[in-house]
Amino acid sequence: MIENVFDILSVCSFVIGVFFILTGSLGLLKLPDVFSRIHSAGMIDTAGAGFIILGMIFQSGVSLATVKLIFIGTFIFFSSPV
């Protein structure tokens, strides 16, 4: 039962992450100048990657892979906007 809840949460996280990444990609194509494009790519793609990593955390359960994914997500969160 709890595995089904984690599966549903992971699929929702993946869908939200893909939506954010596609929205950021659309922003790269449609926005007028370089600074707007950088802002779109930095903010939206960081959120998309975070949701995709969150979905992978739900799929991996409690393991060493979860700790590694948390470290990867933290690194992306702090380094991507730079």
Q: What is the reported pLDDT for 11?
A: 96
Q: Rounded mean pLDDT of 60-73?
A: 93
- Tell me which DSSP letter residue 82 carries: -
Mean pLDDT of 35-47: 83
pLDDT at 35: 85
In tens, the pLDDT along 16-39 reads 999 999 988 888 888 888 888 888
Q: What pLDDT score does 39 carry? A: 81
Name the one residue in this structure whose structure tokens are 């370089």.
34
Take residue 12 and report the two structure tokens written for it.
Answer: 């929702």
Q: What is the mean pLDDT of the segment spanning 51-66?
A: 93
Residue pair 81/46 in contact (Cβ under 8 Å)? The answer is yes
Q: What is the pLDDT of residue 81?
A: 67
